[in-house]
Structure 1
Amino acid sequence: MSSLAGTSIEFLHKLQLEKLIALTRPVHFVDGACALAALYALVKAIHIARRRLKTTSLRGPASPSFVFGVGKKLVPATEAAVQYEAWAEEYGAVYEIPSTLGQRRIVLCDPRAIAHFYARETWTYVLTPFDMIVTEIIVGKGLLWAQGESHQRRVSHSVFHARGSTHDMYRQRKALTPAFSNAAIRRLTSVFYDSAYKAKGIWDSIIESTDGDSAIIEVQTWMSHISLDTIGIAGFSHDFGSLDGKPTSVTEIFDSFGKSKRSALNTSIFLLAQSIPILAKTPTSRSKLVKKLNKSVGEITDVLLARTRKEKEAGVIGDKDEKSIIGLLIKAESEDAELHLSPEEVRAQAKVLLLAGYETMSISLTWALIEIALKPEVQTKLREELLEFGADPTYDQLSSSLPYLDAVVHEILRLHPPVPEFRRVAAEDDVVPLSEPIRTKSGQLVDHISVAKGSNLVISIACVNRSAAIWGSDAKEFKPERWLDEEGIPRKAKEIQGHRHLLTFVDGPRTCLGKGFAIAEFKTVLLVLVKNFVFEMRDGPETKIETGRGVLPRPKVAGEEGARVPLRVRRFE
């Protein structure tokens, strides 16, 4: 009996042990996962604590939401500039704002701090994980994506200098620099004129067909046609035929961006993705358009690159073509090239230059036509200068002999920068000097701030370009006269070290490579159109202009579907 009882007890113990083992297996897994999650949370907490200890405690607005911080007040970015400026007036030219999921972001509106930031950009201040994903999705791993040298490959300071230029971004910029030299742009000026005069001829025909001296023309579409055909011919030796009415997949997709609506869901995903970057890959209606655009531009650039490779192999490309954008890309792709670019980098560069040349120029030209339509006295003064000059100016004359045209162009670039905001994360600890002391959260006055590794920073280009504290009480006005003499630029604005005291082309190592190209094209097209046509708002001078959606923010007449800007255009005779 005792033997049987002992056996039974032993059997029960064995059964319980097996059940216990079976039960503890998943528990061990769950425990492990919990432990890893706890460890991750601890590491994150330590990093956050370190950042807060090593970063100057700055004043700023309270957080209305742990999840979104003040993010919903800053969408869209063009309208956020007003909010950034209001906070700068309240808290000082450097302050911090609550971001998503309890994070903080430092906002720089101080000229000296901004100059310091840009001088160290791509090394101390690098793309955020969110921006790296978005940039790769749109254009691939090209010039916009490249950091200094990827931090995974980063070596000691002394070794880096001993190796010379292994810097990804500098290598890619240097390979393309000849395409944007003064000599190269001088050769391309005739291309700018050709596109402008082609548009002029088509508009003349449209006006003639109305049996009057004017017509309503949706100018944003035409500025897009001009910019696409120009970058196609000037950069890639390819005529898209957009001005001739030839449909292109790129323009159709850009039109789709303008018609898309901003939804609460898309905004929420966009804001959360800045803390959880993988969310940038969420298949929203906008992200699907981005992928479609990426594919379309990729197909176009692949065809253009393949054609140029064949021409190079056949010895068709001459010296001039080798100095074009596409010629330099193919040259840099050669295995023995000093500034070798991989096929992936070549493709990405071509996409960047095609998109940048198309989107930013069409936006700037559209804003120019809107502003001169709203300010007929500026339009008249500009036309008088152009007519008095006479024949179409050369590239050098465009640069130096037409001061009011130069003033109008730079006032548009000041008021309406195509890229309104610039975000980065600190890759190392830094000390940022200030042009004027600010008061910290504890009440202390400081003339510099400490920024810890991992801190997020933002510069609102639109805010700084239009800041009353920097540009004076008339900063929000379209006033080209401010550019006609040095006295028109306030002392504070002169502390901004970007092109002509603007941040439109950013500054430092990432200064826009194509700014000379862009300004020459801008001046040429505007000159031809203003000499030949008078522009008026279709619905009168009280017409409300707002910002519509696009790959970049685009102007639009309020109430119009998509990013449409219908103006009354009449011949100047």
Structure 2
Amino acid sequence: MGANISSLPTCLAAVVAFITYTYTYIRRRHSFLSQLRGPKSHSFWIGNEGDIYYQNEVGDCEFEWVQQFGSALRRRGCLGEDHLMVADPKALQYILHSSGYSFPKRRDVVKVTEMVAGKGLVCAHGEVHERQRKISAPVFFTSRLKMFIPTFQEVSSKLVQRWKDELATLDPSIPLLINVAPWISRATLDIMGQAGFDLHFGTLDGAETELSKMYGGLFIDSTLYPSPLNLIFKSTWRYIPEFLLQHVRYLPTREYRRFRTYLDCARDFSREIIKKNAEKGDGSDMMSVLLHTNASEDPQNRMRHEEVVDQLSALLLAGQETTASTLTWFLWEIARHPESQERIREEVAAIYKRTGASGAELSAADLDSMAYTQAVLKESMRLHPIIWMLSRVAGQDDAIPLAFPVTTKSGRLVSSIPVKKGTLIDIALHAYQRLPEVWGEDAGEWNPDRFLEPENVKQTSIGVYGNLLNFSGGLQGCIGWRFAVCEMLVIVTTLVKHFEFSLPPEREGEKTPRICRKPTVLMMPMAEGQVGPWMGLVVEPLN
């Protein structure tokens, strides 16, 4: 009897695998995707998932696939399932904009996101998403941005002082190598603490909260190079009933345990903030505005208490680490391209001279006027999208149009892809942002000037900033993108005004660590021999 009971999970897994294989085999035989060209799969069990999730750097395989097969291709998922991978601008516009909620987020991706962000805006869909977005919108009104700029400037100035303090303790003839990644992450966390929740985390001062400890290294610890078994397991989630799937977060493996402990901590933290807000009354921070707006809504349209609680984790997920990583790559690019760094510095100096501003007094209008600085930010974002892949599923039978026709296995040129309900779709936004057909023949190279002469670029309207997809697009585009851009511009202008950034010099007998774009859920800078996010740059003070 004991042997029979112990073998039950194995039998159930075998049954699910058999049903999944049979289902995918039948679908594949009747699917147009089988006619599309795509990379060869070397494993029935994980298909091309291994190529994507185990690559050394983000884009190693996808860039090659798009170049070889075109901007719409077929790849294999786990257990032989076909995926449609698209980087075509017209297809992306149709999926994200024209068809709205007809292409919902994939169930396994939603569930993983819920494990770390709860049931907040980043996970919501359809009517729930509309309701949460409407209530959250006042938090990010453009008119409110000027209220946050002093906070951006205060934290940026504190970061400058921390680096100057470190420099003061060293021999000035020895260049200071700083791992800028954790420093920028601390700065953006302090900004979110003050702007988001009216709290001073003090991470730049070396303080640690329970939340900041839980948040540190969250995505590297939990999602870098997942096990093949975990990939296969997630591919079966769309067949598992919801009442069972909600208990997956309690599995005792690395990813699920890490996400569970963080989200539980974030929820406790959020409940405490809500309680304090009720005691002190209205405030101007994001959470206070959200609570006030929610209370003002008709009771039928309000967010439920648990939805409000989960907005804190959603705000941190969408507004802290993504911004920090984007800025980290920005600093790397201007260190590699000193001519761009100097042009930014000249533009910043000209703004200060024209406005008569001193210290940290730049306005939103001043930031908007920095055309070249914004061009450099867009170019860095184009080459280094932190969220590098989006996943969708066809909610109905449909046909996805293409701007650039692709050739099928039979040699036929097609300008649209018929998809059946349930078709899995990968939005390779990082591949889209390097398409020569969109960005020019130098799409793989550094050229910020392309954003100063947009008429030379073939553009299909997709993204909200520079027509990039770093903030996604359409109905589920990032609601806080203006906040993020303003925050990054303030930090950038402050740092470039005080420091010069360069790459570490090659020393005889020493190997400089190579920075890699690692494929965690968020694209993280890492280097061999270094622990956690790593971006080592030489930082020298300016006179």
TM-based fold match above 0.5: yes
The answer to whether the 8 A contact 1:557-1:566 is kept is no
The answer to whether the 8 A contact 2:25-2:80 is kept is no
SS state of the match for residue 200, structure 2? Answer: coil
SS state of the match for residue 205, structure 1? Answer: helix
| Aligned positions of 1:133-212 closer than 5 A | 133-148=111-126, 167-212=127-172
**Distance in structure 2 (CA, Å) of the matches to 1:174 and 1:335:** 10
Give the aligned length.
511
The AA in structure 2 aligned to 1:369 is L
Shift of residue 282 of structure 1? 4.3
Q: 1:111 to 1:331 in 2, by over 3 A?
A: closer
2:399 matches 1:408: no
Q: 1:43 to 1:558 in 2, by over 3 A?
A: closer
Residue of structure 2 aligned with 1:451, choices 387, 412, 419: 419
The structure whose Rg is larger is: 1
Offset from partner CA, 1:192-241 (integer Å, 9 cap, x none): 11110111122222211224275332211110111001111111111111
Residue of structure 2 aligned with 1:49, choices 26, 43, 46: 26
**Distance in structure 2 (CA, Å) of the matches to 1:43 and 1:345:** 33
Counterpart of 2:430?
A: 462
**Distance in structure 2 (CA, Å) of the matches to 1:50 and 1:71:** 19
Q: 1:501 to 1:335 in 2, by over 3 A?
A: closer
2:526 matches 1:556: yes
Residue of structure 1 aligned with 2:478, choices 512, 537, 554: 512
Offset from partner CA, 1:544-563 (integer Å, 9 cap, x none): 21134766231134432221
Residue of structure 1 aligned with 2:282, choices 305, 317, 323: 317
| Aligned positions of 1:417-566 closer than 5 A | 417-487=385-455, 489-491=456-458, 494-499=459-464, 500-540=466-506, 544-548=514-518, 552-566=522-536
Q: 1:46 to 1:247 in 2, by over 3 A?
A: closer
Q: Which moved more, 1:520-529 or 1:348-357?
A: 348-357
**Distance in structure 2 (CA, Å) of the matches to 1:262 and 1:170:** 29
Shift of residue 460 of structure 1? 1.1
Q: 1:502 to 1:256 in 2, by over 3 A?
A: closer
**Distance in structure 2 (CA, Å) of the matches to 1:557 and 1:194:** 31
Shift of residue 327 of structure 1? 2.5
Offset from partner CA, 1:126-150 (integer Å, 9 cap, x none): 12221122112111111122111xx
Counterpart of 2:190?
A: 229
The answer to whether the 8 A contact 1:298-1:351 is kept is yes
**Distance in structure 2 (CA, Å) of the matches to 1:121 and 1:344:** 29
Offset from partner CA, 1:280-314 (integer Å, 9 cap, x none): 76432233222222222222222212211222xxx
**Distance in structure 2 (CA, Å) of the matches to 1:543 and 1:78:** 14
SS state of the match for residue 443, structure 2? Answer: coil
**Distance in structure 1 (CA, Å) of the matches to 2:121 and 2:219:** 26
**Distance in structure 2 (CA, Å) of the matches to 1:261 and 1:510:** 25
Offset from partner CA, 1:153-180 (integer Å, 9 cap, x none): xxxxxxxxxxxxxx11011111111111
Counterpart of 1:216?
A: 177
The AA in structure 1 aligned to 2:203 is S
**Distance in structure 2 (CA, Å) of the matches to 1:230 and 1:215:** 25
Residue of structure 2 aligned with 1:361, choices 323, 332, 348: 323
Structure 1: where are the runs of 5+ without partners?
A: 1-25, 149-166
Offset from partner CA, 1:429-468 (integer Å, 9 cap, x none): 1111111322223333222121000110001111111233
Shift of residue 498 of structure 1? 1.2
2:268 matches 1:299: yes
The AA in structure 1 aligned to 2:476 is R
The answer to whether the 8 A contact 1:220-1:366 is kept is yes
**Distance in structure 2 (CA, Å) of the matches to 1:37 and 1:482:** 54
The answer to whether the 8 A contact 2:28-2:82 is kept is no
Counterpart of 1:157?
A: none
Residue of structure 2 aligned with 1:59, choices 37, 41, 47: 37
Counterpart of 1:348?
A: 310
2:50 matches 1:72: yes
The answer to whether the 8 A contact 2:450-2:457 is kept is no
Counterpart of 1:119?
A: 97
How much identity, in percent, do the aligned residues show?
A: 30
The AA in structure 2 aligned to 1:108 is V
Shift of residue 63 of structure 1? 2.1
Q: 1:457 to 1:405 in 2, by over 3 A?
A: same
Shift of residue 537 of structure 1? 2.2
Offset from partner CA, 1:92-144 (integer Å, 9 cap, x none): 22111111101000011211111101125662111222112211211111112
**Distance in structure 2 (CA, Å) of the matches to 1:421 and 1:42:** 28
**Distance in structure 2 (CA, Å) of the matches to 1:331 and 1:287:** 33
Q: 1:434 to 1:308 in 2, by over 3 A?
A: same
The AA in structure 1 aligned to 2:87 is C
**Distance in structure 1 (CA, Å) of the matches to 2:36 and 2:397:** 16
Structure 2: where are the runs of 5+ without partners?
A: 238-244
Q: 1:554 to 1:121 in 2, by over 3 A?
A: farther
Counterpart of 2:345?
A: 383
The answer to whether the 8 A contact 2:190-2:202 is kept is yes
Q: 1:43 to 1:514 in 2, by over 3 A?
A: closer
**Distance in structure 1 (CA, Å) of the matches to 2:22 and 2:195:** 52
**Distance in structure 1 (CA, Å) of the matches to 2:294 and 2:145:** 20
Offset from partner CA, 1:502-550 (integer Å, 9 cap, x none): 1111111011101000000000000000001111223459762113476
Offset from partner CA, 1:241-261 (integer Å, 9 cap, x none): 112221123443344447749
The AA in structure 1 aligned to 2:457 is P
Shift of residue 47 of structure 1? 7.3
The AA in structure 2 aligned to 1:217 is I
The AA in structure 1 aligned to 2:26 is A
The answer to whether the 8 A contact 2:37-2:74 is kept is yes
Q: 1:43 to 1:529 in 2, by over 3 A?
A: closer
**Distance in structure 1 (CA, Å) of the matches to 2:133 and 2:55:** 28
Counterpart of 1:396?
A: 365
TM-score by length of 1: 0.82
| Aligned positions of 1:257-336 closer than 5 A | 257=218, 260=221, 266-277=226-237, 282-311=251-280, 316-317=281-282, 320=284, 324-332=286-294, 336=298
Q: Which moved more, 1:274-283 or 1:97-106?
A: 274-283
**Distance in structure 2 (CA, Å) of the matches to 1:551 and 1:91:** 25
Offset from partner CA, 1:57-103 (integer Å, 9 cap, x none): 32222321111111111125783524223222322221111111010
**Distance in structure 1 (CA, Å) of the matches to 2:434 and 2:506:** 25
Counterpart of 1:160?
A: none
The AA in structure 2 aligned to 1:204 is K
Offset from partner CA, 1:5-44 (integer Å, 9 cap, x none): xxxxxxxxxxxxxxxxxxxxx9xxx9xx99x969x96798
The answer to whether the 8 A contact 1:422-1:459 is kept is yes
